[in-house]
A and B are shown apart, each in its own frame.
Chain A
């Protein structure tokens, strides 16, 4: 019995390792290619280790891709969206999880309903509206419309419901008002879910391509994803290693955050299901 179980486990490890190679090979290739010269890339596409390596891909990032500017722009957008969401989502989640007010359940039901509406429905009308407001080619077109998001409210609400009511009642008896309870009790006790939302929101904005493509016209405002795509569709062949290096550096920040905070990432994606 035990031996059979061990055999099964060994087999599982073997299959998982094969899957692992398929999963990670593109990343290995990406990193290795970023150190190759154009002729190495052209003549030996499946070569794994660049001999000799070159750093021209990475120096080209500053010259041809202007990667620092792309980073700065993306951080402005993704950072603003994340901060706004942390604040407004947690306020709404607190109200829905712990406060009583007439119409609360109806409101929450309605919010759930909005989750079913496909985003494409709003795409053209919102673009038209923001165009008339003169928001095209401004960061606010990417920041303000997503300052509060129900999906995050939903995750935060689930978490906050687990905070014991007694803690809140005790504070209330001591004369604390709801804003005080929010800032002194709810926020400190919700750090794990706040971290999850921060990661999800930041990553979403960092990896977003559609939004920047719609609203950012001038190259000096482009984000990492948009900048890389524009670069890839315009580069002459001798700069192809710069594209590889660009792929590496725009993936790296998210990957590093993931490595440190993976338990929050995975929780964010697994906590949800339709019951």
Chain B
């Protein structure tokens, strides 16, 4: 009797299972299996082009990973980069979102025009952005030419040869690329705030800045959480920006080395699949910790 019920349920659910089956198969083949392979590889000395030398080495890869100065250097580099990137992008995006919000009940066409224009850097590829903005920030590019003319700089700087400048400049370039999309996301949040809230405060004589920080900003929490989680996941995995500039070397004094670039160079240049896989695990664990902390911190602020 129970069996019959069960078969009946299964029959009725047949298409549901068939329709989700591709995702399940895709997950098993291209995520679960590689994950298993990856775990095994972290305990192996495994050179892709010399597989006969494969050897079980216990936790040696993990120990090497946690004590690898270059890996830690790459982590410090990316944290330096992200500290600048996240702060800069977020506050610019917040300002732009608020300005867009201000004009949103004005002329519809101008509103749409500005929204679209600010969105354009988001749809441009990282390669193109790095090439174009690399030119703009180059020693004889327009920005430095102006700075020298205005005597802010005494002479042009080749920023990609100055270790301390590499990550800040890349952060600014990435900011230019991302502030528009973050602004649009925040604007979406502002649009859902009932106007009575802000109107009431305005009638009570609240200042513009008070209305913004006390009423609008706290109500943007879902959007802010989304942006910060995306930052934590995406930002720490930066690759193309540094690869386009420095290849696998990481630039002068390895100041442009990021964790993913390092993993790439260990895996794809030196073919140390066991070791690079281990570094991938360590980085992933750190990213998950960063994500959880972001969620915790932002959700407690309610």
Distance, CA A150 to CA B26, complexed state (A):
10
Q: Is the interface of B mostly helix, strand, loop or mixed?
A: helix
Say whether chain A's binding surface is mostly helix, strand, loop, or mixed.
Answer: helix
Query: CA of A118 to CA of B285 in the docked complex: distance in angstroms?
Result: 9
- The reply to whether B23 and A111 contact each other, CB–CB distance below 8 Å, is yes
Among B64-72, B80-88, B160-168, B275-283, the one that faces the other chain is: B275-283
Q: Which one of B102, B110, B122, B128 has the highest number of Cβ atoms from chain A below 10 Å of its Cβ?
A: B128
Partner of A262, one of B31, B119, B236: B119
In the assembled complex, the Cα of A101 lies from the Cα of B264 at a distance in Å of 42
Binds B, one of A10-18, A55-63, A64-72, A188-196: A10-18
Contacts of A177 in B (CB 8 A): 15
| Candidates B117, B125, B225, B283; contact of A120 at CB < 8 Å | B283
B7 beta carbon closer than 8 Å to chain A: no
Interface residue? A99 (CB, 8 A): yes
Which of A91, A120, A270 is in CB contact (< 8 Å) with B237? A120
B37 touches A266 (CB 8 A): no
Partner of A209, one of B112, B118, B126: B126
CB–CB B185/A13 < 8 A: no
Give chain A nearest CB distance to B126 CB in angstroms. 6
Contact of B121 with A23 in the complex, beta carbons under 8 Å: yes
Interface size, chain B (Cβ < 8 Å):
97
Name the residue in A19, A29, A232 with the highest tally of chain B Cβ atoms < 10 Å from its Cβ: A19
Contacts of A265 in B (CB 8 A): 119, 123
Q: List 27 A-B contacts (CB under 8 A).
A: A13-B110, A23-B176, A24-B117, A26-B121, A26-B129, A29-B142, A92-B20, A95-B16, A96-B20, A101-B16, A117-B288, A120-B280, A120-B283, A124-B263, A124-B277, A125-B38, A125-B277, A144-B30, A145-B26, A203-B123, A247-B131, A247-B132, A250-B125, A266-B115, A266-B184, A270-B185, A273-B189
Chain A positions near chain B (C-beta within 8 angstroms): 8-9, 12-13, 15-16, 19-20, 22-27, 29-30, 33, 45-46, 88, 91-92, 94-96, 99-102, 104, 107, 111, 114, 116-129, 131, 144-145, 147-148, 150, 153, 177-179, 182, 203, 206-207, 209-210, 213-214, 225, 228-229, 232-233, 243, 247, 250-251, 254-255, 258-259, 262, 265-266, 269-270, 272-275
